[in-house]
C-alpha cells in the first residue's frame, strides 16, 4: 500500500524499534503535530518515554503486529535488522516506508555490494566466503590485510575481524557467525565520510552536507561538518547517495558511509534509516534528518536541509555521559537518550559543538 | 524546598498545564534525557501525546496533587494562572520553579505594576479601579484614550476594553469581571518588543535577543528577530528583564513585553513562563527557551542563547494551520501543537521563517 496524499496532522506513525533513533523520530513527529506508537520487545525502551502509545512484543508476534498495524496510519522503523517477514506483514496492512526491498538489500552485505556496484558506484573489492576454501582463495586474491565480515547482523564493529596475515584466517572463519561471510580488501582510507539523503513520496531528493566521521573501537566518535572534501568529492558523494535512493524507489532518510582514498570514493555501507552521523542536523539545519524522514513517510514535501553553522557531533559513549552539566559550555547543544545505565560502549547521547558566528 | 544539586538525567519533571507550552517543555526535557509527567484537567491536552505519564484532575484536587508531587522530582508550570494555593501545596512537597511568589505578582496587574515600577523600570501610568467613582477619577487623570483591564485572568486581549471617551466607562466597568480593575494610559507605541530571559539556580542570567512583536486581534501574529531597536534600547530592555528575574529570585524562563515609544521603554506585562514570542529560539538558537527553562529548574548551568540566523516567527491561528504541507518552502521550519480542532483564534502551531545564509 502506498499513501496517495499527504497524511494530515494528528495521524499516528507506527515506529518499529524503541532505541534512540525511534525516540528522536517520535520527537520530530510530535513537532509536526503527529502522534506516534512505538513497537519494541524491550519494555525498557527509551522511546517509550516520549509517547503514550506502545506495544511490547516480539517482531514475529503476528497478533501484536496486526493490532499495531490497525492502530496506526503509516509504519516506519529505526533499525535495518527488522525481519523482512515482519516488514512484509505490516506492508500488506498499512503503508510501510522505507519499503521491504531496501531492508533486504541493507541486511545482506553481498546483496548490498552487488546492488551498489551495479549502479556504477565504487565499493571495496570483495569475495563471498561460504567455506574455508573460499576464504583461502579470497585471501589469495585480495591479500592480507583484509577484513572478514558476516553478511548479516553486523553493527558497530560486531561481526568482523581484520586479517593481518593468512594465519589469521582459520580462527576468524571459525568465530564469525552467522555464515556465509564476505572478505573485503582493506582500504587504507584517508578519511570516512557519510551522506544523509532523503527521498520523498513524489521522488524529490535532498541531501545534507557530507559529514567526516571518526570511529573509535568501531563506534562513531565524531562527525564534523563540513567534511574535508574537494568540491568534486562532495558532488560525487551526494550524487552516489542520490542514485542509491532513486534506484531503490526509496521513501525516507538513508545514510551512506564512504571511504575516501585519494581521489577515490568507495561506499562502505548503507543504512535504510536515520543515521548517527546525521544527528548534528538537529542542531544547525533548517530541517533535521528526523523531521525529513517523517515528512517523507507522511508524503509531505521534503524540508530544507540548509545548514546554518559549522558543527562537530561528539557521541557520548558509556560513562562519557555522566556529569554532563559540568561539560556544557558556549556553542554546545546536548542531547541525551534517556537510557538508564551507562554501560561501556553504549550510546548514551551526543553533544553538538556549534561553531558560533562572529560577534557583530 | 529547593534543589541543592543538579538533577540527573532520568529525573521526572512534573508540568502543570497540558497546552502547547507544556508540550514543548516536555519535548525539550526529553532531549535532556528527562521524563515528564503532565498534570491537566483537560483529558484532550496536547501535551499528553508526548509522554506516558499524566494526571487528569482539577488544580484544586489535593489528593491528585499529592500523588503527582510524590511521582515527580521537580515541578514547573506552563501558564501563569496556576492557583497560588496549588503552587504552595506542591512547593511544600517538591521543588517548584518558578516559585509561587512570581505567580502571585504576575497574576495581579496591580502587584505587577507596583513591583516593576518599584525596580525603577517604566510602566504605563495606571490607577486602581475598585468602583465607578474610581474609574471616573482615573479617567480624569489619565484621559481617554485609556485601557480598562481586569487585574486578574486576562490573556490574548480577554479582560480589557479600550475607552475612547468618558462615555465608554459605564459599560466597560459593568462588563469586566472579576473586579477590581485597573485603568492604564493608552500608550501610542511605535512597536512592541519582548525579552525572554532565564535565571538559573545559582543566579546566573541569560537573555535571548529581543523580538519585535505584531499582534492581530490581540493575539501574537509575528515575532521578528532582530527587533528594530537601537543598541541602547536593546541593552535597556535586556537589563530591565534581568533586573526583574533577579528581584524575584526567579528560577526558570520569564517573558517581558515592552512598549517602545520614541526613546522610552515601558513594561507592558511579565509572564512567569516560556513565551510565545520566544518560540523562534527553537529554530535558530544554540539553546532554545524550552531547554533553557528545563535546565534552570533542574539546577543545570544555563545554555548558550546565541542566535545563528535572523528569523521571523509566524503564528498559525485557527484555519491558517490547515493545508500546511503546501505552504512549506525554503528556510521554513514548522511546528504544530497536535490540537484536534482548528477553532478561530486558537493557536495551532507556528512557522519559523529563517533568513538563510548566503550560498558560498
Among A136, A163, A185, the domain-final residue is A185
- Are residues A80 and A178 located together in one domain of the fold? no
- At B110 the pLDDT is 94
What is the model's pTM?
Answer: 0.96
- Are residues B129 and B149 located together in one domain of the fold? yes
Domain count within chain B: 3
- Are residues B350 and B240 located together in one domain of the fold? yes
Question: B325 and A301: CB-CB below 8 Å?
Answer: yes
Residues of A in contact with B328 (CB under 8 A): 300-301, 303
Domain that residue A218 falls in: 191-354
Q: What cell numbers appear for B29 in the block? A: 526535557
| Residue pair A30/B28 in contact by the 8 Å Cβ criterion | no
- At B277 the pLDDT is 98
Q: Which CATH number fits the domain that encloses residue B68?
A: 3.40.50.20
Among A50, A285, A302, the residue to mutate for chain B (most B Cβ within 10 A): A50
> Is A303 within 8 Å of chain B by CB?
yes
> Is A52 within 8 Å of chain B by CB?
yes
Residue of A nearest to B334 (CA): A32
Residues of B in contact with A331 (CB under 8 A): 286, 304, 306
Domain-located, residue B110: no
| Residue pair A193/A286 in contact by the 8 Å Cβ criterion | no
- Are residues B147 and B200 located together in one domain of the fold? no
Domain-located, residue B117: no
Among B56, B75, B96, the domain-final residue is B96
Tell me how close the Cα of A214 comes to any Cα of chain B, in angstroms.
24
Of B35, B301, B337, the CB nearest to A49: B35
- Are residues A254 and A276 located together in one domain of the fold? yes
- At B1 the pLDDT is 41
> Considering Cα of A175, then A178, then A184, then A187, what sign does the dihedral take?
negative
Among A142, A169, A185, the domain-final residue is A185
- Are residues A151 and A210 located together in one domain of the fold? no
Domain-located, residue B105: no
- Are residues B33 and B57 located together in one domain of the fold? yes
Tens-digit pLDDT profile for residues A262-303 = 989 999 999 999 999 999 999 999 999 999 999 999 999 999
Domain-located, residue A279: yes
Domain-located, residue A119: no
Domain-located, residue A195: yes
Question: B338 and A300: CB-CB below 8 Å?
Answer: no
| Residue pair A184/A143 in contact by the 8 Å Cβ criterion | no
- At A157 the pLDDT is 65
Domain-located, residue A165: yes
Say whether pLDDT at A158 is over 80.
no
- Are residues A151 and A69 located together in one domain of the fold? no
Q: Which CATH number fits the domain that encloses residue B153?
A: 3.30.1490.20
Q: How confident is the model at residue A1 (pLDDT cuts 50, 70, 90)?
A: very low
**What is the C-alpha to C-alpha distance for residues A75 and A84, in angstroms, rounded to an integer?**
14
Domain-located, residue A104: no
Tens-digit pLDDT profile for residues A167-203 = 999 999 999 989 999 999 999 999 999 999 999 999 9
Say whether pLDDT at A123 is over 60.
yes
- Are residues B306 and B336 located together in one domain of the fold? yes
Q: Report how far apart, in Å, the C-alpha atoms of A141 and of each of A127, A136, A144, A146, B347 are.
A: 9, 9, 9, 10, 66
**What is the C-alpha to C-alpha distance for residues B22 and B16, in angstroms, rounded to an integer?**
8
Query: B106-141 burial, b for 16+ CB within 10 Å, e for fewer?
Result: bbbbbebbebbbeeebbbbbbbbbeeeebbeebbee
Q: What cell numbers appear for B70 in the block? A: 510524590
Question: B31 and A335: CB-CB below 8 Å?
Answer: yes
Complex ipTM, two decimals?
Answer: 0.95
Q: Which CATH number fits the domain that encloses residue A209?
A: 3.30.470.20
Say whether pLDDT at A3 is over 50.
no
- At A156 the pLDDT is 63
> Is A355 within 8 Å of chain B by CB?
no
> Is B360 within 8 Å of chain A by CB?
no
Chain B neighbours among A 270-299 (CB < 8 Å)?
Answer: 283-284, 286-287
Q: What is the mean pLDDT of chain A?
A: 94
Report residues of chain B scoring pLDDT below 50.
1-3
Residue of B nearest to A34 (CA): B338
Residue of B nearest to A342 (CA): B9
3-state SS, residue A263:
coil
The DSSP code sequence of A73-84 is SEEEES-TTS-H
Of B332, B338, B356, the CB nearest to A33: B338
Residues of A in contact with B32 (CB under 8 A): 334-336
Question: B51 and A48: CB-CB below 8 Å?
Answer: no
- At B157 the pLDDT is 65
Give the residue from B31, B354, B353 showing the smallest Cα distance to A308.
B354
Among A6, A15, A49, A356, the residue to mutate for chain B (most B Cβ within 10 A): A49
Say whether pLDDT at A4 is over 80.
no
Of A287, A333, A340, the CB nearest to B333: A287
- Are residues A247 and A268 located together in one domain of the fold? yes
- Are residues B319 and B261 located together in one domain of the fold? yes
- Are residues B212 and B316 located together in one domain of the fold? yes
Amino acid at each position: 500500500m502506498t499513501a496517495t496524499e499527504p497524511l494530515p496532522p494528528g495521524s499516528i506513525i507506527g515506529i518499529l524499534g524503541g532505541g534512540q533513533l525511534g525516540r528522536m523520530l517520535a520527537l520530530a513527529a510530535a513537532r509536526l503535530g503527529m502522534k506516534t506508537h512505538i513497537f519494541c520487545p524491550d519494555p525498557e525502551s527509551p522511546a517509550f518515554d516520549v509517547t503514550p502509545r506502545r506495544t511490547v512484543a516480539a517482531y514475529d508476534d503476528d497478533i501484536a503486529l496486526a493490532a499495531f498495524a490497525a492502530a496506526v496510519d503509516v509504519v516506519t522503523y529505526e533499525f535495518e535488522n527488522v525481519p523482512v517477514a515482519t516488514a512484509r506483514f505490516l506492508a500488506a496492512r498499512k503503508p510501510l516506508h522505507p519499503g521491504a526491498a531496501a531492508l533486504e538489500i541493507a541486511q545482506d552485505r553481498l546483496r548490498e555490494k552487488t546492488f551498489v556496484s551495479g549502479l556504477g558506484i565504487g565499493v571495496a573489492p570483495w569475495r563471498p566466503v561460504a567455506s574455508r576454501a573460499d576464504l583461502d582463495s579470497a585471501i589469495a586474491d585480495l591479500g592480507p590485510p583484509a577484513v572478514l565480515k558476516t553478511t548479516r547482523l553486523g553493527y558497530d564493529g560486531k561481526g568482523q575481524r581484520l586479517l593481518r596475515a593468512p594465519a589469521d584466517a582459520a580462527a576468524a572463519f571459525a568465530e564469525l557467525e552467522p555464515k556465509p561471510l564476505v572478505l573485503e580488501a582493506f582500504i587504507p582510507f584517508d578519511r570516512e565520510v557519510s551522506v544523509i539523503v532523503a527521498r520523498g513520496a513524489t521522488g524529490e531528493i535532498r541531501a545534507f552536507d557530507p559529514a567526516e566521521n571518526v570511529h573509535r573501537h568501531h563506534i562513531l566518535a565524531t562527525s564534523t561538518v563540513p567534511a574535508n572534501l574537494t568540491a568534486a568529492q562532495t558532488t560525487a558523494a551526494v550524487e552516489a547517495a542520490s542514485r542509491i535512493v532513486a534506484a531503490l524507489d526509496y521513501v525516507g532518510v538513508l545514510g551512506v558511509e564512504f571511504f575516501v582514498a585519494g581521489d577515490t570514493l568507495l561506499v562502505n555501507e548503507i543504512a535504510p534509516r536515520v543515521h548517527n552521523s546525521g544527528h548534528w542536523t538537529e542542531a544547525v539545519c533548517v530541517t533535521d534528518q528526523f523531521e525529513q524522514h517523517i515528512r517523507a513517510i507522511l508524503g509531505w514535501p521534503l524540508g530544507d536541509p540548509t545548514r546554518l553553522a559549522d558543527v562537530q557531533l561528539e557521541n557520548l559513549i558509556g560513562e562519557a555521559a555522566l556529569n554532563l552539566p559540568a561539560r556544557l559550555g558556549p556553542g554546545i547543544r546536548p542531547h541525551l537518550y534517556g537510557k538508564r545505565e551507562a554501560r561501556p560502549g553504549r550510546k548514551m547521547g551526543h553533544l553538538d559543538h556549534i561553531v558560533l558566528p562572529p560577534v557583530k
